[in-house]
Amino acid sequence: MARRTKRLFTIGYEQTPAKAVLDELEAAGVKLLVDVRAVAASRRPGFSKNQLAAGLDERGISYLHLKGLGTPKSGREAARSGKFGLLHKIYSAHLKTVQAKEELDELSALVKQSGPVCILCYERDHTHCHRQWIAEIIEDRDGVKVENLVAPQV
């Protein structure tokens, strides 16, 4: 019997209402959302840690915040300035920290053991977000299929 390939989704919520993101996660069959923001707070309704976890729970999706996989403040500042090369340099260095390594291993184990997992951050375009680099590492290391979800802007 062939082994089923594990899947890892990514999603960003920039300019997207919470309901649209939750609908997209549910439609994809996501069972666990892993929040990879350094700070799990948002001015956008529905995206602060407790609100997000409650909305996910209503749809049968679990929530986990892995703060150690979040982008350091200097990296967030580089991203806001459009300096994506600098963001990549800062985040690559961050991934060498003990906490980031441990949480990357934890995420990897969850992807292997759980149903479909999705990592969430702010940026709508995954190519401008650190979640893309997390996904690439897990894809390369673990042979996981990655799909970037984009919820409709309403």
Reported as a pLDDT band with limits 50, 70 and 90, residue 4 is low
Could you tell me which residues come within 8 angstroms of residue 10 by beta carbon, excluding any fewer than 6 positions away?
118, 119, 120, 121, 126, 129, 131, 132, 134, 135, 146, 147, 148, 149
Tokens 């993101």 — which residue? 21
What pLDDT digit, counting tens, does each position of 104-118 carry? 999 999 999 987 999
Q: Which residue segment(s) compose the domain that 68 sits in?
A: 7-148
Total tally of structural domains belonging to the chain: 1
What pLDDT digit, counting tens, does each position of 50-80 carry? 999 999 999 999 999 999 999 999 999 999 9
Residue 1 is predicted with a pLDDT of: 37
Q: Using an 8 Å Cβ cutoff, are 154 and 17 in contact?
A: yes
Reported as a pLDDT band with limits 50, 70 and 90, residue 140 is very high
Q: Considering the entire predicted model, what is its pTM? A: 0.93
Could you tell me what percent of the chain has a pLDDT over 70? 96
Domain annotation covers residue 127:
yes
Domain annotation covers residue 67:
yes
Domain annotation covers residue 153:
no
Residue 115 is predicted with a pLDDT of: 78
Domain annotation covers residue 1:
no
Helix intervals (H) in 13-83: 18-28, 49-57, 73-80
Report how far apart the first and last C-alpha atoms of the chain are (Å, whole number): 43
CATH number at 142 reads: 3.40.1010
Domain annotation covers residue 74:
yes
